[in-house]
Structure 1
Amino acid sequence: MIRYSVSQFRALMAAALATLAMSSPVHAQQVLRVSAIPDEAPTELQRKFKPLGNYLEQKLGMKVEFTPVTDYAASVEGLINNKLDMVWFGGFTFVQANVRSGGKIIPLVQREEDEKFKSVFITTDKSITKLGDLKGKNFSFGSESSTSGHLMPRSYLLAAKINPDTDMKRVAFSGAHDATVAAVSGGKVDAGVLNISVWEKLVAAGKVNPQQVRVFYTTPGYYDYNWSVRSDMNPVVRKKLSDAFLALDANNPQDKEILELQRATRFIPTKAENYAAIETAARNAGLLK
């Protein structure tokens, strides 16, 4: 039997604890890798995230990096394959990620507005005043994987007895909400649909004239966006993240800037069950295999 002095034993224990700390998830995670579905231009997504990223760095005590992705699918694959740690998903992309991962994606928080999110149908054509008028027209969704730019609008069209694939002259996918507005205002399509949040932002910024491009139908509310993480994220980091979002207060000037850029009144907890209706809609529309 090997015998150690007290000082030798203490040194060995210290080394073992240091090794354990170095290999632990808390120590290993020096950078939080964040991304978002590309529902707006990459430069706009980075501009919106910068103050939030700085805030999260302070709260987590680690570096936060935002990496734009090329398309919606890349955001899903990035989180599932451990290339990203947290992603801003739409309701449908969360469902896709959760199904693809076998239920290992956790929706962390959502904006209060995302409990009753809406989409708006827009046009410059004076003859279009209701969903039924879209028959025989050229129409644009956003991204094929977008909740508010495709999935939920498609479900409301089908409920109104309009099948986009057979009743419309041509259906296009612009790829992003702001691109849909550009397609409609530029006359490339007769009408289109996008999320109400981006629409209101573009109108407020004077980037679209609501007298020229008008909303002719607003959908009922549904659950949409959330910040999601993998279930294997260190629980300490996950709690710090959740607490940081929930602590944002519009009465604090710094927090107010972050919330305004995120187009949020405040963040609230969310859960996977909130997106069950979106999963059902996706399966009914044949968009989820």
Structure 2
Amino acid sequence: MTLPRFLARTLMLAAMCLGPSIAHADFKLDPRFTDANGDMVADAPTDPSKQIDPDTLIFSYTPVEDPAVYAKVWQEFTDHLAKVTGKKVQFFPVQSNAAQLEAMRAGRLHVAGFNTGSNPIAVACSGFVPFAMMASKDGAYGYEMEIITYPGSGITKVEDIKGKKMAFTSETSNSGYKAPSALLRSQFGMEAGKDYEPAFSGKHDNSIIGVANKDYPAAAVANSVMKRMIARGVIKPEQVVTIYKSQTFPTTGYGYAYNLKPELAAKVKEAFFSFNWDGTALLKEFQSAEPPQEKFISITFKETWAVVRQVDDAMGVSYACK
């Protein structure tokens, strides 16, 4: 994947501004995993006794919006997943990225969609094996990081954030924290806690609603989430103003726990790629994105998430598992 111009510029400036003091991210899997084929994800255990074949598959979607809404959105897909795998499927409404990561690491989560920024940590520490992503019918995918404010906030450009509060989502989020932090530091010379007051809302929808309601002067968000919220009438487009928009990042990656029995893992993949989106709640929810998300396409962590690992490198992210 070609490095977007926004990130190429940001990472180059980060290196120039920060010099040797930044700690570089060295991606590697937790020692309990093996990667014999070099694809950067955990291999299935070779010992059949260490493979799992649960009666009920636990599925979760990244915790960016109201879990109650998304349980219904995913219902037709989870029914299809159950039919293809021959398993019961339970939707698990996680409340935070940390909870989702820990659930898979502890073996309580089997199939999931991890957000862009959490994917590398999920792969390194939780044994997550991403293989799919949503895309349009012609294969276009991705979202942009936007820095938003509200009309009359006094903020008309990024530099105006100085001295004010800036909302992020969580430290594992790419568009909600890592990419905008790298941008503010390297391109605008602004450090959190020194030049602006960081606040963590926990989720993209919290940040978006917070700006729309004038609780936060500015926030960094994934515009795919904002567009879906506007389409559902959660906020009105005139309540927010975009002052910065990045180029495209990969969106939520879908996959399974590395230690699923290989035959079951193959059935999980089959379910994603055989799902018929026509007329479903999933299509209704995600087709409002730009580009529209209308099917699942095959991806690899090694290639598709290279750009995100480079953002992590600029941010000095550690993949050490706690």
What's the TM-score once normalised by structure 2's chain length?
0.73
Partner-residue secondary structure (3-state), 2:57: strand
Instruction: Tell me the CA shift for residue 57 of structure 1.
Output: 1.4
Q: Which residue of 2 aligns with 1:38?
A: 63
Instruction: Tell me the CA shift for residue 148 of structure 1.
Output: 2.3
2:317 counterpart of 1:277: no
Match of 2:283 among 252, 259, 263: 259
Identity of aligned residues (%): 24
Check whether the contact 1:147–1:224 (CA below 8 A) recurs between aligned residues. Answer: no
Partner-residue secondary structure (3-state), 2:216: coil
Which deviates more, 231-240 or 124-133? 124-133
2:111 counterpart of 1:86: yes
CA offsets 1:101-158 (integer angstroms, 9 cap, x no match): 4xx4310211126843212221114432322222222110112222222222223333
Task: Report the AA paired with residue 161 of structure 1.
Answer: F
Q: Which residue of 1 aligns with 2:98?
A: 73
Bigger Rg over Cα: 1
Which deviates more, 110-119 or 92-101? 110-119
Instruction: Tell me the CA shift for residue 167 of structure 1.
Output: 5.2
Listed as ranges, the gaps of 5+ residues in structure 1 are 1-22
Match of 1:175 among 173, 190, 202: 202
Q: Which residue of 2 aligns with 1:202?
A: 229
Check whether the contact 2:59–2:111 (CA below 8 A) recurs between aligned residues. Answer: yes
Task: Report the AA paired with residue 67 of structure 2.
Answer: P
Listed as ranges, the gaps of 5+ residues in structure 2 are 1-48, 288-292
CA distance in 1, matches of 2:264, 2:133: 18
Q: Which residue of 1 aligns with 2:80?
A: 55
Which deviates more, 219-228 or 116-125? 116-125
CA offsets 1:157-176 (integer angstroms, 9 cap, x no match): 33422434155431101111
Partner-residue secondary structure (3-state), 2:179: helix
CA offsets 1:78-101 (integer angstroms, 9 cap, x no match): 112211101210122111122224
Change (3 A) 1:169 1:258: closer
Q: Which residue of 1 aligns with 2:9?
A: none
Task: Report the AA paired with residue 284 of structure 2.
Answer: E
Structure with a larger share of its residues in helix: 1
Check whether the contact 1:138–1:168 (CA below 8 A) recurs between aligned residues. Answer: no
What's the TM-score once normalised by structure 1's chain length?
0.81
CA distance in 1, matches of 2:223, 2:310: 22
2:182 counterpart of 1:155: yes
Check whether the contact 1:33–1:83 (CA below 8 A) recurs between aligned residues. Answer: yes
CA distance in 1, matches of 2:308, 2:134: 17
| C-alpha RMSD of the superposition | 2.4
Task: Report the AA paired with residue 118 of structure 1.
Answer: E
Aligned residues: 261
Match of 1:134 among 161, 164, 174: 161
Instruction: Tell me the CA shift for residue 262 of structure 1.
Output: 4.4
CA distance in 1, matches of 2:102, 2:64: 16
Partner-residue secondary structure (3-state), 2:305: helix
Check whether the contact 1:39–1:143 (CA below 8 A) recurs between aligned residues. Answer: no
Instruction: Tell me the CA shift for residue 249 of structure 1.
Output: 4.0
Task: Report the AA paired with residue 268 of structure 1.
Answer: I
CA distance in 2, matches of 1:86, 1:166: 37
Change (3 A) 1:205 1:36: closer
Change (3 A) 1:107 1:122: same
Change (3 A) 1:116 1:37: closer
